[in-house]
Amino acid sequence: MLLSEAVRKRIIKLAEKKKINLHQLAILSGIPNTTLNSFMNKKSNSPQLKTILHICEGFEIELQDFFADSIFKNVEED
């Protein structure tokens, strides 16, 4: 699986767990809704690490917790 796809799936999984939608996540993360939607809709494939950090803040988790998932095993570079 490509790294960008693994990140998308992880965001979806965490949003479902927190029972929030992507618009709510953007607000909680303090990132523009357009930035999050652009990545989630595959218009961009490389979110900056600081964007992922803000997403983690929106989920109220640590960055290490975001990547502590089996989905990131055997990922490939985009």
Q: What is the CATH number of the domain that holds 59?
A: 1.10.260.40
Q: Is residue 59 part of a domain?
A: yes
Residue 9 has what pLDDT? 97
- Mean pLDDT score of the chain, rounded to an integer? 95
Residue 45 has what pLDDT? 83
pLDDT tens digits, 4-56: 999 999 999 999 999 999 999 999 999 999 999 999 999 988 889 999 999 99
CA distances from 4 to 60, 68, 72 (A): 21, 16, 10
Range of the domain at 26: 3-69
Would the pTM count as exceeding 0.85?
yes
Residue 46 has what pLDDT? 84
Domains contained in the chain, number:
1
- Which of 63-72's residues contact partners 24+ apart within 8 Å by CB, and which partners? 66/10, 66/14, 69/10, 69/13, 71/1, 71/6, 71/9, 71/10, 71/13, 72/6, 72/10
Name residues whose C-beta falls within 8 Å of residue 13's C-beta, 6 or more positions apart in sequence. Answer: 69, 71
